[in-house]
Amino acid sequence: MRVRDSVVVVTGASSGIGRATALACASAGAAVVLAARRADALAEVARECEAAGGQALAVPTDVTDADAVQALARRAVERFGRIDAWVNCAAVTAFAPFLEIPLEEFRRIIDVDVMGYVHGARAALPYLRDQGKGVLINVSSVVAVVPQPYTHAYSMAKAAVRVLSASLRQELRLDGAKGVKVCTVMPPTIDTPFFDHTANYTGRKAKAMPPVYSAERVARTIVDLIRVPRREVMVGPMARNLLMQSKFAPGLAERMMGSQVDKMHLYRTKPAPATSGNLFEPAPGTGSVSGGWHGRRQTALRRVASTAALLTGGMVAARRWGR
């Protein structure tokens, strides 16, 4: 479907992937409905969206409140008449050894990352079904395929979300709602403020684990999915690699991911106090897309490097061939 003139609802729109998605949709000519907990941050995003050329409506929403999410859908339809795409994006996490994390924080993560998506899907699908057409996009993660240590709740939730999408796809197909599509997006590590806001009980500061991709890249994928819906999309070659690894050498992939996270996701030099992060209270400030992990620069560098490698390889091969 055309993104221009469509109505897109994005949860978790105050920062990171959600914010980038909202901006990308707005600049493609969509009307966007922005949902997150922080009203001031949302107002800022709404301004940016309008500057990018789309209409925007900010609806401060806590996705764990089912009624609030229903109200969000209602507001979207009252203001813009319909819902063409619903992007579930709001998520929180915690870094902690399993026995260290307070149980209520574990529950909270499941609540936001699973029930938040469930609430979103339950609010959106009646409208999409009535219209006979529409897309529900659930942002999952590669950790749904290859889980990580220290972020059990998050990995569980992301795996749950992937399965939720698949079940909904099946059910809608059986129900004859052919025009309603459900897609899962599985991004790898993304340069967002996520890691600064996170709850942490490891005693070590968290960082974005390389390779880091930019949130805009995920946003582009999501916009493409609204245009041409697909079942599941991995973002970036790294994610696809992980998927293949987990298929052909699952044990190895699991071990490698474990030690990599221990070494590279958490600083080995910077200690950090225990915190519940943004689990219960939103992070202060007006939010941003990037978390300062140089996702764009890193992507660019990787591209330059791989192009250079390819070129060199090509030249070497050409010379050999030429002889």
Partner 1 sequence: MSARLRAARYLVDFDSGVNAARAVGRYLRGKDHRGMSVGPSSRLLADLTSSLPTRVRRGTFSAMGVQQGIPLDRARRISADDIADWVTAQYPGGPYPVVMIGSASGAAVHLAAALRAPYLPQTTLAAVRELGTHPDDPRAAMEALAPTAQLVAQRNPEVAVHHMHDPAQDRPMLEGMAYLRLKRRLLGRTWERFLEERLAPGGTIVLVECTRTWRTRQVGERAYFQFGCLGGVSEEEYHDSGPRIADYLARERSPWRRWEPPETDARRPEAEWGFDPALRPDLERLAERCGYQLRRLVVEEPQDLSDFVADLHRWWYRRRGLPTERLLPQSYVQWDPLWAQRLGAVPFWLRFNMQPSFEDLQRYLHHADPYDEIYVNLFSQGLWSPGVVPVHHWRELAASAARVRGQVIGVDEDAYPLDAGSTMRYQPAFAALPPRHPLPAPLDVAEIDRFLQSTTASYRLTWSGPASA
Partner 2 sequence: MGPLTRWDTHEFTAAAGTRVHAALLGPRDAPTVVCVHGLGCSHRYFLPLARALRRDARVVAPDLPGFGRTRGPSRALDVRGQSRALADWLRATARGGAVLVANSTGCQTAVDLAVHSPELLGPLVLVGPTVDRRARTLPQQVGRLLADTPWERPTLGPVLLRDWAACGARRYAATFAYLLSDPIERKLPHVPVPTVVVRGARDPVVPREWAEEVTRRLSAGRLEEVPGVGHTVNWSAPERLARIVRPLLAGEPA
Is 267 an annotated catalytic residue? no
Helix pair angle (16-27, 215-227), 10° resolution: 50
Residue 133 binds: one of partner 2, partner 1, none (C-beta under 5 to 8 A by kind):
partner 2
Query: What separation, in Å, do the N-terminal and C-terminal C-alpha atoms of the chain show?
Result: 52
- Report yes or no: 135 and 72 within 8 Å, Cβ to Cβ: no
Place of tokens 């999952």: 140
Among 131, 241, 245, 286, binds partner 2 (CB under 8 A): 131
Q: Is 55 in the site for partner 2 (CB under 8 A)?
A: yes
CA distance 161 to 109: 13
| Helix ranges restricted to H, 28-143 | 39-52, 66-80, 103-110, 116-131
Q: Indicate the residue among 176 and 273 with the shorter CB distance to partner 1.
A: 176
Q: Is 82 in the site for partner 2 (CB under 8 A)?
A: yes
| Token pair recorded at residue 28 | 């493609």
Q: Of 167, 165, 162, 166, nearest to 147 (Cα)?
A: 162
Q: Is 105 in the site for partner 2 (CB under 8 A)?
A: no
Q: Is 133 in the site for partner 2 (CB under 8 A)?
A: yes
Q: Least separation, in Å, of the C-beta of 127 and partner 1? A: 16
Report residue 266: phi and psi, to 5°: -120, 135
Among 52, 68, 77, 264, binds partner 2 (CB under 8 A): 77
Binding site for partner 1 (CB under 8 A): 174-176
Residue 174 binds: one of partner 2, partner 1, none (C-beta under 5 to 8 A by kind):
partner 1
CA distance 266 to 298: 19
- Among the options 117, 127, 154, 201, which is catalytic? 154
Q: Indicate the residue among 52 and 256 with the shorter CB distance to partner 2.
A: 52
Q: Which residues bind partner 2 (CB under 8 A)?
A: 4-7, 31, 55, 77-82, 84, 130-133, 179
By annotation, the residues acting in catalysis are 154
